[in-house]
A = this chain, B = another copy of it.
Amino acid sequence: MKPVTLKQIAETLGISITTVSKALKDYPDVSKKTKRLVKDLAETLNYKPNAFAVNLRTRESKTIGLIIPEVVHHFFSNVVKGIIAQAEKKGYLVIILQSNESYELEKKQINLLLSKQVDGILISIANGTADFSHLQTAMENDVPLVMFDKIAKIVNCSKIIIDDRKAAYTATKHLIDSGCKKIAHFRGPLMPQNSIDRFLGYKKAIEDHGMLYDSSLVYICEKVNFDEGKLFAQRLVKNHKDVDGIFINGDLVAVGAISALNELGVSIPDQISIVGFSNWFMSSAITPSLTTIDQPGYKMGKKAFKLLYKELKAKKRKQEILPQTVELETTLIKRNSTK
Contacts and interface: CB of A to CB of B under 8 A. Distances in A.
Interface stretch (A12-20, A87-95, A151-159): A87-95
Given A95-B95, A285-B226, A81 B72 contact: yes
A77 B71 contact: yes
Contact of A80 (B96, B116, B142): B96
Interface residues of A, number: 53
Complex copy number for this chain:
2
Interface in A117-166: 117, 137, 140-142
A80 B71 contact: yes
Q: Which of A74, A262, A282 has the largest number of chain B CB atoms within 10 A? A: A282
Contact of A51 (B85, B116, B255): B116
B98 A96 contact: no
A2 interface: yes
Contacts of A97: 84, 88, 93
B287 A287 contact: yes
A321 interface: no
Interface stretch (A53-61, A168-176, A197-205, A325-333): A53-61
A88 B65 CA distance: 14
A265 interface: no
Q: Which of A61, A72, A95 has the largest number of chain B CB atoms within 10 A? A: A72
Contacts of A226: 281, 285
A318 to B, nearest CB: 12
Given A61-B52, A93-B95, A96-B80, A285 B287 contact: no
Top 10 A-B pairs, shortest CB-CB distance: A52-B55, A52-B56, A51-B117, A71-B81, A72-B77, A96-B96, A93-B95, A1-B140, A282-B282, A51-B116
